[in-house]
Structure 1
Amino acid sequence: MPESWVNSAERIGVDLHVNLPEGKGGRQAALTRALRDAVRDGRLAPGTRLPPYRSLAADLAVARNTVASAYAELVAEGWLTARQGSGTRVADRAAPPRPVSVPQRTATPPRPAHDLRQGVPDATSFPRTAWLAASRRALTAAPHEAFGPGDPQGRVELRRALTEYLSRARGVRTTPDRIVICSGFAHGLRLLYGGVGGPSRGVLRGPLAVEAYGLPFHRDLLHEAGVRTVPLEIDEAGADVGALGAVRGLRGVLLTPAHQFPTGGPLHPERRTQAVDWARAHDGLVLEDDYDGEFRYDREPVGAVQGLDPERVVYLGSLSKSLSPALRLGWMVLPAHLVGPVLAVKGEREAWASAPDQLTLADFLESGHYDRHVRRTRQRYRSRRDQLLSVLAAHAPHIRATGIAAGLHAVLRLPPGTEPDALRAAAHQGLALDGLARFRHPGAAGPAPDGLVVGYATPADHAYGSALAALCRALPPPR
């Protein structure tokens, strides 16, 4: 008999996949072997209730006595148990052997005692109760079509909620039809420039100006898409956007204007205007990465550059810093002429962002829970930052911290030539953190200052003091 799916066991809530090949002993022997093998290799777990004789016999087109005899034999062998009122179950002692482990190609490095890497929010602060309540409300109110093939532009409920929130909190000027939901900043960058299917898959072309400091991952993504990146130097006023006009064939610039990553500080108002003026004059675009714009401590809120000209700025945001990178939700606020091309690249159906998660986020925004969460975590991160500064003032007053008015990290400026030794000392102290040189564009001119990029969001409260003490031991002494 060919393979059969046993589907009629509604009363016990299990399906069985049973293969009864013709062979020695007839149907009863074949069924006994099939069930024994299923228990032995773990496909039928201990405690699983098997279908009644009549149900299994009907599904396999065999006599009821055939099933009863097979069950009785396996009970006698100890593979199954049978009790009045409880039916026939897999015996608890019939545990399958452990699977053989597949050797790892590379050894996993030991986990550091303290994680001070940048860009990682406090996982313990995720608002589980509020998110669960929002999910229940969203799923209860969701239309049936929300559980069908997804719209690549994203759920309209979320796009409406983002329109209101981004306008109110970040000064973004948009409408729901200009927003495209994605899985985060990197996904948005791939939709614009390619990187998954090669350079022909992106919407935009030509070289892209980037800040001289930024995430290597983003530069690598652009390089894989065939995009040449041109570094802009950074000073106290942010990226030197005045140099844009000198780059031949340039049509785009990628900026982190609310809080330059990783050096810190907002883009000066004059330079924000200058960047938009350049885009207007050269038929270009400003790509605005608003990766942690909600977290500011010692300054007035800095609105989005997008508000200066929605037709010349692509605004990109996500939940990776404010809620959790595990949610894989982000958004692109696009000029009108880019919405169609971006959706054409994305495809006919949503392949990245879960519709239930989108609906939950829409409720989370509209109910005010997102604002409350941001305010709570802002206070928490400010306290963490203040503790870092206090410890440095007491134990390493010769080390200057910069980029501290916002965000989830600070840059500790080091004496020239000391960054490599400080990183080795930090590793010896069980610290995971990054040096400033790691984020420097390889094509940037001139020497790079030494420094450590210290994230203060990740460690647990009870371990944060120990992490800071270890950090101070790793810092170079005063000269």
Structure 2
Amino acid sequence: MADSQTNLAWSTLLDLAGPGAKHERLIRALRASVRAGRLPTGAALPPSRTLAADLGWSRWVVTQAYTQLVAEGYLDARAGSATRVRWTPDTPSALPEADPTPPAPMRFDLTPGLPDLRAFPRARWGDALRDQARQVTTADLGFPPPGGHRRLRRVLAEHLRRSRGAMAGADDIVVTTGVTDSVARVFRAIRQEGITRVAVEDPGWVQLHMAAREAGLTVVPVPVDRHGLRVAELDGDPAIRAVLTTPSHQFPTGVSLSAERRAALADWAQRVDGLVLEDDYDSEFRYDHRPLSAIQGMSPSRVVLLCSVSKTLSPALGIGWMAVPSRWRRVLLASGTARSAPPVLDQLAFAQLIENGGYDRHLRSVRQRYRSRRAALLHALRTRLPACRVSGSAAGLHLVAHLGDEVDAADVVAAAATRGLRLTGMRTFQVDRQQPAHSLVLGYGNLPDAAVDEAVTVLAAVLQGL
């Protein structure tokens, strides 16, 4: 449906009253508006940043709501277009219509995206915060400096050189509130410099795709196969001069970018005067061999390396960072896109945690925890679902369960919800969602060890029922 200002659903009355967190109330309000016809099929929703400003809420609330409604089939987020309503009265959705009976309580959550929150090092983090509160200078109690505190930037540069083979100094580091924040800043900066088209992995993390569109960029999906991003396809569109990729552990397929394609990607960026946004997703958690070095170390003048603590410590901390080529760091700082940062005390506490070895000790501990939980999940899948093929399990906090061509993962997600099992289908992360997906993306990071076998037992019963 062609873009039309008459289809912009920016003035729809939303009933945000009721219990629950803000994003849950927004999901209910948007879903009700779609079903009531106040948001007709094809209507364009406002960008998440715009709606967040109108509501006076954080942008995270809106992006979470949009992502959930895309997964349920109410909305459609396409490359190069607005997020639009796709539901009609004849369209089945991932959730049934509201009825008087309350939904089943969620007993097991196998959705990807969270680390083990029970393993957060509360004592170490609390000690670091108390130490820095006592030691911080009066000058450091002002507004955070653009780009982050110098001490943390120096510590992070050393950490990246040691653990990821990166080539970066303190002046190359920009501290952010997370990978999504980092990506949005870079996207706005490259748009100001005249780059209009960015390649993204398909499937991939939809929130980052949305950040590209909100920055005014056209999103060009590039397929992923067992060797990672199909780098050769970038040459098919000469206007592409930026690419977003997760080479260490591609989300959600779980593959790693091959050595040949890593070299080809660095060569492509050099040839087209382009920029690679390397999301260092799950690089800390590999179970088959030592972590792969970052592409940034191969081509530091052409690669932005994106990192955060959302999978290693907790997303609640809101701490991220990126190693940025000097040319682009100047653009970021000059454009004002690097003005916000985590609180200075949190930055200094994290620096202390790295300096005294507490961060490395925490990573070793949780890596062993995830290795054992992954083994338990793989054993349960082999035992309960022997016909299910698994891939992408060599690293990270999730794996892909292939159910077979005769099974629509959306049906499994909906049926599992009625049994208290929260799942995510591969279709949620695909740019082209016209075809049904036959795979589930199973996250085990925040799943209690004791719940692994029972959760898979419920999944097996759901599949048998279908």
**TM-score w.r.t. length of structure 2:** 0.75
CA displacement, residues 405-462 of structure 1 (integer Å, 9 cap, x when unaligned)? 0000010011114122222232122111100111111289xx6751000001112334
The one of 377, 383, 387 equivalent to 1:388 is 377
Q: Is the 1:322–1:374 contact (alpha carbons within 8 Å) kept by the matching residues of 2?
A: yes
Of 161, 177, 182 in structure 1, the residue corresponding to residue 176 of structure 2 is 182
In the TM superposition, residue 206 of structure 1 has moved relative to its aligned partner by: 1.4
Give distance in 1, aligned partners of 2:195 and 2:369. Answer: 42
Residues 380-399 of structure 1: per-residue CA shift (max 9 Å, x gap): 11111100110111111110
SS at match of 1:374: helix
| 2:217 paired residue among 215, 227, 236 | 227
Counterpart among 439, 464, 469 of residue 457 in structure 2: 469
1:360 to 341, 349, 354: 349
1:172: Cα distance to partner? 0.9
**Residue aligning to 1:12:** none
Amino acid at match of 2:283: G
Match of 1:153 in 2: 147
Q: 2:78: which partner in 1?
A: none
Tell me, in whole angstroms, the C-alpha distance in 2 between the residues paired with 1:229 and 1:193: 11
- Equivalenced residues, count: 371
- Equivalent runs, 1:66-465 vs 2, <5 Å: 103=18, 106=28, 111-194=105-188, 205-346=195-336, 350-418=339-407, 419-442=409-432, 450-465=438-453
In the TM superposition, residue 131 of structure 1 has moved relative to its aligned partner by 0.9
Give the 3-state SS of the residue equivalent to 1:457 in structure 2.
coil
Measure the CA separation in 2 of the matches of 1:322 and 1:245: 35
1:226 to partner: Cα distance: 1.9
Distance 2:199 2:217 in 1: 10
Question: Which sections of structure 1, spanning at least 5 residues, go unmatched?
Answer: 1-100
Distance 2:194 2:113 in 1: 27
Q: Is the 8 A contact 2:250 2:281 kept in 1?
A: no
1:232 shift after superposition: 1.3
Instruction: Name the Cα RMSD after superposition.
Output: 2.3
Q: After superposition, what is the alpha-carbon deviation per residue over 1:108-145, rounded to whole angstroms, capped at 9, x for unaligned?
A: 96651111110111111000011112222223332221
Query: Structure 2 matches for 1:11-26, cutoff 5 A?
Result: none
Q: Tell me which amino acid in the other structure corresponds to 2:133.
A: L
CA contact (8 A) 1:191 1:203 kept: no
| Alignment partner, residue 83 of structure 2 | none
The 3 A distance-change label for structure 1 pair 244 and 264 is same
8 A Cα contact 1:231 1:443, kept in partner: no
Residues of 2 paired with 1:184 and 1:362: CA distance? 16
Distance 1:203 1:296, change over 3 A: farther
Percent same amino acid at aligned positions? 40
DSSP-derived class of the 1:151 partner: coil
* Larger mean Cα displacement after TM superposition, 356-365 or 223-232: 223-232
2:77 aligns to what?
none
Q: Which secondary structure does the structure 2 equivalent of 1:316 belong to?
A: strand
The 2-side partners of 1:103 and 1:468 are apart by 34
- 8 A contact 1:437–1:448 mirrored in 2: yes
Confirm or deny: 8 A CA contact 2:281 2:307 kept in the other structure: yes
Q: Partner of 2:312: helix, strand, or coil?
A: coil
Query: How many angstroms apart in 1 are the aligned matches of 2:118 and 2:227?
Result: 35
Q: Greater shift after overlay, 434-443 or 281-290? A: 434-443
Distance 2:155 2:215 in 1: 32
Cα offsets for 1:29-81 (capped at 9, x unmatched): xxxxxxxxxxxxxxxxxxxxxxxxxxxxxxxxxxxxxxxxxxxxxxxxxxxxx
- Counterpart code for 1:330: G
Q: 1:432, 1:475 → 2: CA distance?
A: 14
Letter in 2 for 1:179: I
Q: Secondary structure in 2 aligned to 1:434?
A: coil
- Contact 2:106–2:420 (8 Å) recurs in 1: yes
Q: Deviations over 1:244-295 (max 9, x none)?
A: 1111211111110000100012100000000000000000011100121101
Match of 1:26 in 2: none
Aligned equivalents of 1:412 and 1:351: distance in 2? 39
- Asked whether the 8 Å contact 1:203–1:342 carries over to 2, the reply is no
Q: Which runs of 5+ in 2 are unaligned?
A: 1-15, 20-24, 30-101
